[in-house]
Amino acid sequence: MSELIQALSAQEIAGIDAEIAHVPYRSAVAIEALKIVQAHRGWVSDESLRAIARHLHMSAEELDGVATFYNLIYRRPVGEQVILLCNSISCWIKGCDKIQKRIQEQLGIGLGETTSDKRYTLLPVTCLGACDKAPVLMVGEELHENVDTHSLSRLFDDGGGTSE
Amino acid sequence: MSLDLPLTRNVRPDRSPTDFAAYEANGGYRGLRAAIGKLTPAECLQVIKDSNLRGRGGAGFPTGMKWSFVPMDDAAAGHKYLICNADEMEPGTFKDRLLLECDPHQLIEGMICAAYTIQADIAYIFIRAEYHRAEKLLREAIAVCYEKGYLGRDILGSGYRLDMQVHSSAGRYICGEETALISSLEGKRANPRAKPPFPQVSGLWGRPTIVNNVETLCNIHHIIERGADWFQALGLTEDAGTKLYGVSGRVKKPGCWELPIGTPIREIIERHAGGMEDGYQLRGFLPGGGSTDFLTPDHLDLAMDYGTIGKAGSRMGTGTMIILDDKTCPVGFVKNLMEFFARESCGFCTPCRDGLPWSAQVLDDIENGRGRPEDMHTLARQVEFIGAIGNTHCALAPGAMEPLQSAMKYFREDFERHISGGACHFCEGGAH
Ligand SMILES: Cc1cc2nc3c(=O)[nH]c(=O)nc-3n(C[C@H](O)[C@H](O)[C@H](O)COP(=O)(O)O)c2cc1C
Ligand code: SF4
Ligand code: FES
């Protein structure tokens, strides 16, 4: 038990247990549990994964199968903020490739990469349901519409770091 | 002419959310009061059946018929579930976000009436993780409904009990497929399930479950309050009701509007979306999201309804059109979609998991000047095999083939020119 408490905070355990109260069996909250831990730590390490699996009475392998299925569960460290760049069709028509290139120039990161100062990670995302405002991207929880090079400069004006 | 547009009557130009007070002041929760304690579940079901409402999530299945498979006798004792599909990830689709962000109580009222009809005791809203604003508004609105006695035990003193929860997802397009959604709600990988058994009989945790789209559910209380005839009369053609239509791409005013179902495509693109941007011509369009077949300017005068678009060789899908203009490469367009579908394959069955990346690779070769004449044959074989319903475990892969097969039909010369010229003739000077 002491080992478990080391890997998951009391707050995390309380959050997960509150979810367990709503479902017929513990492993049913696998996704919520992963999201709770990720909200606290930014990502899900192997250690966290094992601790969650034990808490849910499932094998770490099975939980990892769930974790790696979902693109918004991060099994590797990400920057303080994740940039989700929509590269689906309407944003492609409106030039998301150019936006991606501009981000590469400005922050020095391509898809899947993190700036060396660990501030930003850039990931592609499925159509964000804002196609009439294409191209769009999210920074953290914030949606940015009709993005162009000017708005990108404003968004990341202090440049961020360069990728390694 | 002032149209009766029930779904967007609380949508404000600045898209600020309508709160509980404003919602009730504008006639909200009257449908719920008309249903619960006044009509039996069977009577509610009959109204929905008579209304001819069809699912707005893409497949267009009649809602009343879908609900009629839910067991209602004593053998069905135990939990029953209603799930709202708010996963909206179909490329080019941006209609449910509007309903969720602008009028959360409308969805909740529709869901309570739907749940009452099938006698579900637990309702979930399965919402994609990126819709943070909508998620917050829904959680707040649900809390208000518990306070007001519209949710929880003994709703309006009728003895009917319903609990409602929001489940925020963790990504992946396949979660929108209804059986994959159920797997995901159970905390598993979102692999679709074989049917039968259908979810109506054995869905979430093996219990009877109905999954409906946001827009479908937003209609329910309006129909119960105002009647099946009123709903039927809203449509301009044989389909009933209104529909949220959208247009994106190089038009002057991209957007989403509620219009009578059966509104002509030309009116949607030219009047509501303002026509093409200056300097661009219309070459084709996907009528209802990324997994529908292309139509062309020859189809502009068709009515936008299920039957008419089906007869023209496509599907109304989600009703949100994606415009292909004359400066955008049709091969690049289809390649973008195919790479999307390949990325989003859940990996369960071989034609999809291995076939879609292959199609994407062939399209990438053609787009980048490495295409060979036999590639056209390869693509045609892939369409034939992967596109056939029944060869794959779910509709993702056949859906992926729809834009490809129709692009090969309508824009064949562009494919061939890429291959014979060894380059994309849109790349120089064009958008791509
Ligand atoms: C790959 C795939 C993705 C889907 N995504 C969605 C979605 O995001 N939202 C939705 O309502 N329906 C989606 N559907 C359709 C659902 O499976 C289901 O038909 C729909 O939610 C039923 O609701 P309705 O009868 O109200 O239309 C998807 C289907 C497939 C095959
Ligand atoms: S068709 Fe694709 S998404 Fe559907 S079950 Fe098969 S692999 Fe999964
Ligand atoms: S395609 Fe980018 S928001 Fe829809």
Interface A:B, Cβ pairs < 8 A: 128
CB contact (8 A) between residue B186 and residue A73: no
- Report the pLDDT averaged over residues A7-34: 95
Residues A95 and A39 in one domain: no
Last residue of a domain, one of A38, A69, A100: A69
ipTM for the whole complex: 0.96
Answer yes or no: is pLDDT of A3 > 70. no
Q: By C-alpha distance, which of B163, B284, B236 is closest to A21?
A: B163
> Could you tell me the CATH number of the domain that includes residue A140?
3.40.30.10
Dihedral pair phi/psi, residue B323, rounded to 5°: -90, 130
Residues A119 and A89 in one domain: yes
The DSSP secondary-structure symbol of B276 reads B
Residues A105 and A46 in one domain: no
Q: Is residue A40 domain-resident?
A: yes
Residues A13 and A50 in one domain: yes
Q: By C-alpha distance, which of B200, B178, B163 is closest to B67?
A: B200
Last residue of a domain, one of A12, A44, A69: A69
Best mutation site among B48, B85, B126 for ligand 1 pocket (most ligand atoms within 8 Å of CB): B85
State the Cα–Cα distance between residues B209 and B186, nearest whole angstrom.
13
Q: Which two tokens stand for residue A31?
A: 């996704």
Of residues A139 and B73, more confidently modeled? A139
Q: Is residue A161 domain-resident?
A: no
CB of B353 closer than 6 A to ligand 2?
yes
Q: What is the mean pLDDT of chain B?
A: 96
Last residue of a domain, one of A48, A69, A90: A69
- Ligand 2 atom at minimum distance from B356 CA: 2
Residues A29 and A63 in one domain: yes
CB contact (8 A) between residue B189 and residue A69: yes
Q: Which two tokens stand for residue B21?
A: 């007070």
Compute the Cα dihedral for B2, B7, B11, B15 and give only its sign: negative
State the Cα–Cα distance between residues B413 and B54, nearest whole angstrom.
37
CB of B89 closer than 6 A to ligand 1?
yes
Q: Is residue A141 domain-resident?
A: yes
Lowest mean pLDDT among A2-16, B43-57, B153-167, B284-298: A2-16
Answer yes or no: is pLDDT of B401 > 90. yes
- On the question of a cis peptide bond just before residue B264, with omega within 30 degrees of 0, the verdict is no
For residue B248, give the nearest of A22, A95, A134 by CB distance. A134
Q: Is residue A88 domain-resident?
A: yes
Q: How confident is the model at residue A9 (pLDDT cuts 50, 70, 90)?
A: very high
pLDDT at B73: 82
Residues A65 and A90 in one domain: no
Residues A65 and A91 in one domain: no
Q: Is residue A105 domain-resident?
A: yes
Q: Which two tokens stand for residue B422?
A: 């060894």
Lowest mean pLDDT among B132-136, B179-183, B277-281, B388-392: B388-392
Q: Is residue A148 domain-resident?
A: yes
User: What is the residue range of A7's domain?
Assistant: 2-69
Sheet with strand B320-325: strands edge to edge: B255-260, B242-248, B320-325, B282-286
Residues A63 and A86 in one domain: no
* Torsion angle (degrees, nearest 10) of CA A37, A43, A46, A48: -20
Q: Is residue A41 domain-resident?
A: yes
> Could you tell me the CATH number of the domain that includes residue A6?
1.10.10
Residues A15 and A61 in one domain: yes
Q: How confident is the model at residue A6 (pLDDT cuts 50, 70, 90)?
A: low
Number of domains in chain A: 2
Residues A103 and A65 in one domain: no
CB contact (8 A) between residue A130 and residue B94: yes
